A and B are shown apart, each in its own frame.
Chain A
């Protein structure tokens, strides 16, 4: 084999492997993986020029057109408070208190980041729907529940995104574990 052929083979394979590794790294990335708070992950540099290449790539795949932190904070959960993956065939109690923001909403997505079909046509619970914003509970479950219910559509894996718009601190800090809702599995 001529030397240039060996160089060409290795060059092409190297580039392909590198690009493939990057794509795989981003595809398996978690939105806001830079900061984990209980079951929630977040990041404060979405949509800004200071976001690193990896954060920027994951946000473009999982949360394109995200707003900067002073306008909205995004907290994402793919696991419950015990660290187990969120399963659409199970029932979870999401319990929270005052969210330090002008308004907030809790939305359920499938892993690629799309809303999940369900008979109730309900995809989120917003702060306006909560009777007592200082102490509230949402039941996330496949079958209809009394009170505030967020349907899972019985999909295998789902994620919850808490959007906090116009955060009280201007987005400079993260909410604490006590400020963020807990996600407790009650059964499957």
Chain B
């Protein structure tokens, strides 16, 4: 594929997500405030339980992680379903760039937009609830975070290709991935609390290893880790490679299948 064309298409798809941030300030308010409301409720739950301070840090990190997970689910995985409904998918399909740069642009735009919201959740949560984080290993935090994003958005791209084929079911499947994944990945508590086996099984979702690794770095030895940091980072790297490759494979396959069965232009 022509690399310049691919980059231009990716930039074109990322642009609406970036400009949208500033075009509708109320959306920023909603999308920062909403995760914060849920986060606040869980902080009060831990206060009711008389939990140690580090649990508040878990919740704040969880609130930021949920913002990314929601973005992956609704703005990546389910995006082609929305595009079908609005009629944009046909336009993407007849454009000379193909769907891969579209996914790349969606990811890039989504990451930047969500980063702003997640940062707001962490900043406000830290200020209001006095969550504390150990920032002595910041370069490692940035590295693990970046790796996590690649794995997470790789999963999003894989799911997007499946949802390209599905119709109304995709909305329900995406809904189904909210609470159960938040539970299994230990978004609001250390995943270790679910037991080693469950935690390991849940590691198929990059959110699990990402959060646990970041908690090891930001909370320190008080955090009961699922696996050692090097093992978790290796696992995340493996997931990143696997999901990006799987997305590439699944996209081609599902697009062919959807074309053959006439599902690409079916709106509902």
Are the chains A and B members of one assembly? no
Residue numbers of A with Cβ under 8 A of B are none
